[in-house]
């Protein structure tokens, strides 16, 4: 199995917390000087998904891996932001701008870049591209797919949710109803049922493709979570990017005995101070590790190619334990299930 460089979760989350929230139409140039004193002639371009750096979730995880690579290897970095409601043509132009500027590799954060990357990769055959959360371009020689077993990590937090629920009623809030997010939903429901076969799981998505605003709509997240709480849920898993902040706010307002579960980054460490205490755990999706490993391979001159898959066996997905007192009663069962998944004794379906 591919060797994955493991980052320390607490250190990564600290970087998330310090990340500035960028404007949706901004771009950032950083010089080649890394904190470690290393220098490299590699120029890395990174195109964010909706929400960008500062979303405290998916994009910030990518930013952390990029920051670590910059610091260690002294690579030059250019980051470009996405905007709500943009077209494939806009994403295409963003990728083309990076490739035409001599950035190699170029990384697209999110499956929304698949169509645009297919076209731009053909135009720039000597540039290595990577796309996170998509493997439809796996046969394109200069595109690397960085993908995750989200259903495995979501299975564990589903089990935790069912154990923590006093009402036998939990919720799943997805950002956008896509096959990718359905993997989170599938794992969550299976994990909850493994602990309580009679568990009720409420499922709501904030938007439907081609509308991707559900990843950056905390107001919708709050309203949706409030509806679930009113319908009896007492634990809600937010797999919704920046919209998760609204879910946390609703759970906080619901009072003691209600819990939220974060996603991608350790959101107990990155969320606003007034809501962090209701975040029981987070499903960690190590986009930081994927970005760092990919950039490192470029610096080393042996770039990772094809499909690179991250799962429980290499800590590509996991659950967080930063809210120590709250999560401690549920770790034994979660760790038992983790080992059963790794061994193959438990099979987790990616389909809801």
Q: pLDDT tens, 52-101?
A: 998 888 999 999 999 999 999 999 999 999 998 899 999 999 999 999 99
Q: Is residue 234 part of a domain?
A: yes
| Average pLDDT score over the chain | 90
Q: What is the CATH number of the domain that holds 131?
A: 3.40.50.2300
Q: What is the pTM of this model?
A: 0.85
- For residue range 125-174, list pLDDT tens digits in order: 999 999 999 999 999 999 999 999 999 999 999 999 999 999 999 999 99
Q: Is residue 219 part of a domain?
A: yes
Average pLDDT over residues 222-249: 97
- For residue range 293-316, list pLDDT tens digits in order: 999 999 999 999 999 999 999 999
Average pLDDT over residues 239-266: 96
pLDDT at residue number 31:
43
Q: Is the domain of 95 the same as that of 170?
A: no
Q: Is the domain of 254 the same as that of 143?
A: no
Q: Is the domain of 210 the same as that of 82?
A: no
Residue 64 belongs to domain spanning: 9-149+287-314
Q: Is residue 210 part of a domain?
A: yes
- Using the predicted structure, report yes or no on whether residue 9 has a pLDDT greater than 50: no
Q: Helix 88-100 and helix 114-123: axis angle, to 10°?
A: 40
For 259, residues 6+ apart whose C-beta sits below 8 A from its C-beta are 161, 164, 234, 235, 236, 251, 278, 279, 280, 326
Q: Is the domain of 292 the same as that of 280?
A: no
Largest CA distance in the chain: 57
pLDDT at residue number 77:
98
DSSP state, residue 7: P
């Amino acid at each position: 199995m591919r060797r994955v460089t493991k980052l320390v979760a607490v250190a990564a989350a600290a970087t998330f917390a310090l990340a500035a929230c960028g404007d949706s139409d901004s771009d950032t140039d950083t010089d080649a000087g890394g904190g470690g004193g290393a220098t490299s002639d590699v120029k890395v371009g990174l195109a964010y998904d909706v929400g960008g750096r500062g979303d405290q979730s998916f994009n910030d995880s990518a930013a952390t891996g990029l920051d670590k690579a910059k610091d260690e290897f002294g690579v030059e970095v250019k980051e470009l932001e996405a905007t709500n409601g943009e077209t494939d043509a806009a994403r295409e132009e963003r990728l083309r701008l990076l490739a035409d500027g001599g950035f190699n590799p170029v990384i697209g954060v999110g499956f929304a870049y698949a169509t645009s990357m297919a076209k731009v990769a053909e135009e720039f055959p000597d540039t290595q591209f990577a796309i996170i959360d998509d493997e439809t371009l796996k046969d394109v020689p200069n595109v690397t797919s960085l993908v995750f077993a989200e259903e495995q990590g979501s299975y564990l937090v589903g089990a935790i949710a069912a154990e923590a629920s006093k009402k036998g009623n939990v919720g799943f809030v997805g950002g956008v109803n896509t096959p990718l997010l359905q993997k989170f939903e599938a794992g969550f429901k299976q994990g909850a049922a493994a602990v309580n076969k009679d568990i009720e799981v409420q499922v709501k998505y904030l938007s439907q493709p081609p509308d991707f605003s559900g990843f950056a709509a905390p107001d919708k997240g709050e309203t949706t979570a409030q509806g679930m709480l009113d319908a009896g849920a007492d634990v809600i898993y937010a797999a919704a990017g920046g919209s998760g902040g609204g879910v946390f706010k609703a759970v906080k307002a619901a009072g003691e005995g209600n819990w939220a579960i974060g996603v991608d980054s350790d959101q107990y460490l990155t969320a606003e101070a007034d809501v962090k205490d209701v975040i029981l755990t987070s499903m960690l999706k190590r986009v930081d590790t994927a970005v760092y490993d990919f950039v490192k391979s470029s610096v080393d001159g042996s770039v990772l190619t094809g499909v690179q898959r991250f799962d429980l066996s290499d800590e590509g997905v996991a659950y967080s334990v930063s809210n120590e007192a709250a999560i401690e009663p549920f770790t034994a069962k979660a760790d038992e299930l983790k080992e059963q998944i790794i061994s193959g004794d438990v099979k987790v379906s990616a389909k809801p």
